[in-house]
Amino acid sequence: MTYTVIWLPDAMTAYRRLRARDHSGAHDIAEAVRALAKEPRPTSSAPLGDSPFRRLRLSSYRVLYEVDEQSEAVYVISVGRTPE
C-alpha cells in the first residue's frame, strides 16, 4: 500500500525556511518524508506518547506527522530542529 503524503501549510512554511538556511538538511528531510509514503512507521520514527502522532528524527532535525489509516495518508505537521 502506498500512502499519500500531505504537507500541512505550517510544516511547508517551516520546510521552506529550513531549505533557505540548510539545503542539505532540507534535502534529507524531503527524502525521509517521501519514504513515508511506502513505510509510514520506519524504525527511525517513534510514537509521540499516547497521541496519534509520530516523530521522525534526522540528525539535528525532526518531523512530526500523523498516519491516517482510513484515508491512507501521512500528514506532515511540523518540521524543525531537535531541541538541544
Domains for the chain: give ranges and CATH numbers. 4-81 (3.30.2310.20)
Q: CA angle, 81 as apex, 21 and 27 as ends, to 5°?
A: 50
Task: Supply the mean pLDDT for the chain.
Answer: 93
User: CA 37 to CA 61: how far, in whole Å?
Assistant: 19
What does pTM read for this prediction? Answer: 0.91
Tens of pLDDT, residues 14-54: 999 999 999 999 999 999 999 999 999 999 999 999 998 99
Residue 79: strand, helix, or coil? strand
